[in-house]
Amino acid sequence: MDKDLHRLVLTQGIDLQEFCVSQEYGFVLSDPLTDLPEYYQPWMEIAKHVPSLIENRQIRSRVNEALPRSLAVPYCEVSELLGLPPILVYADSVLANWKKKDPNGPLEIGNLDTIFTFPGGNCARGFFLVSLIVEIAAATGIKSIATALNSMSLYDTNSLHEALLDIAKSLNNMREAFKLMHGSVDPGDFYGQLRIFLHGWRDNPLLPEGMLYEGVWEEPKHYSGGSAAQSSAIQCFDEFLGIRHGFDYEAPYLNRMRDYMPPAHRALIQAIAAGPSARHHIIATGSAELCHAYNNCVTALVELRNYHINTVVKYITIPANKGKVTSGCIFQIHSSAVAETGTGGTDLMCFLKSVRDTTRRVLINDI
């Protein structure tokens, strides 16, 4: 732990604006650009027509193994400026990939659309927008984490209790938002059409040599694909609640996923980790009320992770076992290894169950 950062959090608290986190939207970019200046229009034309280009087999087949110099060089330069790796990440496809159909309308899924999409049409659109709604539901919880940390430094028990109630409510709202997936995304379409585009070049048996970025590096790179593990919100809740995942695999993987987050969001996770331990503080107070509120937060996160596991079974495990691929699918996933591997490169079910079980273990039992 960074001692200077720990001292700063204790004395000054956390100001979410310093970490580019919105009070209303959380980690979601509040007003994403839907277009770029004229200089970048060749990029925009390709991005806008990715589904049809793929369906008509007009994207160069060599991109399967190497990214051409004309794309690789500017892509890597822009990625370096953003502090992100040159691959599709969660922040690209979810946090900054949305717009309102009616600018004056409500922030509801019926009034939202993606800026860019992939083959799969409504499936891709629904998947990204439901993930967006889940992130927006997390906003009040992230705000309340900052309130809770500041309350602990002031020994303000009442404010801490209110913050814990709001965190549990936020986590429950995230689970309710997650349920929109079932009415927005077809399992066969997701497994057969969209999921292949979310895989990266790391631990991917279809690309064992990785991806070569021509004109940038001489050796292929092995980047992970977009994954829910790249959600800064979930890692903030973990750090605040004092959840320490397995050091053999889970923790190193989750720490590596922070490299795929915007730097400011990554810094917020580090600041929360450097702050006072909520669990230790609450136990030290001896307050049954605070312990109960803390346990409600943990239980809500366990239930969210259980729901995630059930959703993975529906959208990945069952279609994989049935060999179900939507009619007209361009890419067939032949490798069972791909079916069992998360888009971030994990052994999917083992990983999800492990982090769920670790979460459950921080419950305070002696109240």
Give the separation between CA 285 and CA 367, rounded to whole angstroms: 11
3-state SS, residue 363: coil
> Per the structure block, which two tokens stand in for 261?
């987050």
The packing angle between helices 122-137 and 157-178, to 10°, is 170
What's residue 168's pLDDT?
98
pLDDT at residue 311 greater than cutoff 60: yes
What's residue 9's pLDDT?
56
What's residue 333's pLDDT?
44
pLDDT at residue 270 greater than cutoff 80: yes
Per the structure, the count of domains in the chain is 1
Q: Does some domain include residue 53?
A: yes
Phi and psi at residue 29, in whole multiples of 5°? -65, 125
Q: Does some domain include residue 76?
A: yes
Task: Tell me if 76 sits within 8 A of 86, measured CB to CB.
Answer: yes
Q: Does some domain include residue 23?
A: yes
Q: Does some domain include residue 365?
A: no
Higher per-residue confidence, 54 vs 107 = 107
Question: Residue 79: which residues within 8 A CB-CB, separation 6 or more?
Answer: 85, 86
pLDDT per position as a tens digit, 16-60: 888 888 888 888 888 888 877 776 676 677 777 777 776 666 665
Q: Which helix (H) or strand (E) holds 296?
A: helix 288-312
Q: Does some domain include residue 367?
A: no
Give the separation between CA 4 and CA 9, rounded to whole angstroms: 9
pLDDT mean across residues, the chain: 85
Give the separation between CA 136 and CA 28, rounded to whole angstroms: 7
Q: Does some domain include residue 366?
A: no
Give the separation between CA 112 and CA 38, rounded to whole angstroms: 26
Give the separation between CA 195 and CA 213, rounded to whole angstroms: 22
> Per the structure block, which two tokens stand in for 331?
């890419």
CATH number of the domain bearing residue 333: 1.20.58.480
What's residue 209's pLDDT?
83
> Per the structure block, which two tokens stand in for 349?
């079910």
Give the separation between CA 334 and CA 345, rounded to whole angstroms: 17
Banded model confidence at residue 358, pLDDT cuts 50, 70, 90: very high
Give the separation between CA 37 and CA 30, rounded to whole angstroms: 20
Banded model confidence at residue 331, pLDDT cuts 50, 70, 90: very low
What's residue 360's pLDDT?
96
What's residue 306's pLDDT?
96
Residues of the chain with pLDDT > 90, as a percent, come to 54
Q: How many CA atoms lie within 13 A of 172 on its CB side?
A: 9
- Residue listed under structure tokens 């967006």: 132
User: Can you give the residue range of the structural domain that contains 52?
Assistant: 3-360
Nearest in space to 228 (alpha carbons), one of 292, 153, 166, 307: 307
**DSSP 8-class letter at 95:** I
Give the separation between CA 354 and CA 248, rounded to whole angstroms: 11
Looking at this protein, which amino acid is placed at residue 42? P
pTM of this structure: 0.83
